[in-house]
Amino acid sequence: MTSSSQAHLFLIDDPGSDARTPGGAHGHERGDETLLDAYSLAVVNASEAVSPAVVKIDVVKRASSAGSGPAGQQGETRGRGSGFVFTPDGLILTNSHVAGGAARIDVTVSDGQRFDADLIGDDPHTDLAVIKISGPKMATATLGNSRRVRVGQLAIAIGNPYGFECTVTAGVVSALGRSLRAQSGRLIDDVIQTDAALNPGNSGGPLVDSSGAVIGVNTAIIMPAQGICFATAIDTAKVVVGQLLRHGRVRRGYIGVAGQNAPLPRRIVRYFDLPIEAGVRVMSVEAGSPASEAGLEEGDMIVAWDDARRLIAEARHLIAEHQALRYLARIQRQSRLAERRVH
């Protein structure tokens, strides 16, 4: 059986072919920019905006030798990570596990220049640190708003995995409001989970949205798994940075609750006329803590905080900045609202 028409094949780089696009333009005349889809353009634009502010960090830490040699003998351990400049005068945000306790910190910026850096302060409980370099006016990254982040939106990670400078990976925001245990043992709240690939050396680098605004600081991966990576939310970082710059450390209040952001059932929001659609679910309460003495229990949903009925999103910052205040926690328990004074 034969066909009355024959198919014609053309190589895409064949100058003699006369293949045309549906719009009538020659295929080989299309530029690279028109071939990029919206996803690619978003990743390209975001990485071009942020990459000049991303730095490579090399550190030397002192470690006591054990098992051999004179008592108290000091050895050196070397490590590396990433960070990003957030002020023109050279302030850099990175991870505490990268820069904390370092005897020497060397920073390489995007154009290859190397600088000695000073540690301004670090907070192991949120795995954040601020270091500073002195040099000409620096390219900076724009800090975004992690409260506006939504599950499923584009997430782009930039860093220096295994020393490969300014490596870009992309994925989506997989989940919000995760809790992650820091090396200090304390839970980091409001952590962003993403499937953008992270590797050793990415620590401290920025996680950015499609506009190039930083929404998180890359901090951890689950080694046996694929696509389960975590970043400290940038709103948390803003509060920590402010205290590190003012005090050199973070001063915290304490109520003894571990919690996780969680949505509220719509019927609860409407029945109690709540101004929010999410709260903090109490995951655990430490025995003998102010929260325990106030009657908070595991499973409670905190929906408002203090006498001014602040939204729960403000609670962590309120507690961190005002250690001596007494708080009124408004909780939802078994389809009713209750109030507990925590002090």
Q: Which residues are catalytic?
A: 97, 127, 203
CB neighbours of residue 221 within 10 Å = 18
**Dist CA 128 CA 122 (whole Å):** 6
**Dist CA 120 CA 134 (whole Å):** 13
**DSSP code of residue 20:** B
**Dist CA 101 CA 72 (whole Å):** 17
| Helices of type H across the chain | 32-35, 38-50, 96-99, 234-247, 266-271, 290-294, 315-321
Q: If you count them, how many residues does the chain have? A: 343
Residues whose CB is less than 8 angstroms from the CB of residue 114 and which lie 6 or more positions away in sequence, other chains included:
106, 107, 108
**Dist CA 143 CA 130 (whole Å):** 14
**Dist CA 236 CA 253 (whole Å):** 15
